[in-house]
Amino acid sequence: MAANELNLRRGVNDVYLKYNCRTEKCLERNDQIMFIPFTSITLNFDLKINGNQLYDQNYDSLVDTISNEISQSEYWKKLNFKVDTIVDDEFSFRIVIHCNIFNNIINEFLDLNNSGKITTIFDENIDVLREIHIIIEYQTEMTSLLLKEYLKDVNYVITSLLINLEYIFPLIFSVYGRQFFNLNYSNIKRVLYELKNDQINETQCESYILHQALIHNLMKVQARILTEFNIINVLKESDQSNYRSRVLRINKGKTSDTMAVKNFPYSLALIEINNK
């Protein structure tokens, strides 16, 4: 997929965030494409200040602070991802996220060989996200770096990135959308299989038809996420309704397991800067 860029200007400081997403089939986003997560997605972060690359070896304290804050954020738990952090010589740091939702149903969409490589994706309108390369370039005329201001700016562009990714990959980066998907997937599949004629043996043709019906309905779920079950729409509803705003305030800090999908709040800020 083509590289994208987000820019921020704050006083004498400029922050540029570029990101490039690698998918299995390199399909461009449109309403007929459903992107799903691979068994693990690698997020490669490159941090630069005035053109100088930050590595763990030369800016270990700063790199460790940012990588730890991002990897330990509650945001990943809300998305139902498990997170690992990797430090290497190629990037400032890497975060590997493992999907707890799709990993249980991945064989509905693709085949993997014994080494975990994709051999077949069952539908031409499905693509698989493998990796995102994120470059955060910080340009400043200041002779010394104020850590709190730097983290605030980095946090701002990462938050903006997450909102962008939610609309590109709603089944991967939408907190409300993934919960909506998780609640509906099993029911959709069960209803489809109950509607088929149980008196007929499931032929290859019938199996294909059922799978196409499943994908068709999951596309509808994705469309609902893009129009309703996303962070921007939930915030808009909260702004327009005193009741919705009050529900979100009351539920702050509670677990989302027993709540309606859009009734729990969460933070997009991956870096906590209050104590820095």
Reported as a single tens digit per residue, the pLDDT across 167-206 is 999 999 999 999 999 999 999 988 887 776 554 455 555 6
User: Which residues are CB-neighbours of 114 under 8 A, at least 6 positions away?
Assistant: none
∠ CA 183-184-187, rounded to 5°: 115
Q: Which one-letter amino acid corresponds to residue 128? A: V
Q: What is the pLDDT of residue 200?
A: 45
99 phi, psi to nearest 5 deg:
-80, 120
Q: Which amino acid is located at 2 in the chain?
A: A
176 beta partners: none
Q: For residue 184, count other CB atoms closer than 10 A to its CB.
A: 16
Average pLDDT for the chain: 86
pLDDT of 160 higher than 90: yes
136: which 2 tokens? 């955060």
- Give the residue-averaged pLDDT of 135-141: 92
Q: What ranges do the domains of the chain cover?
A: 4-173, 175-263
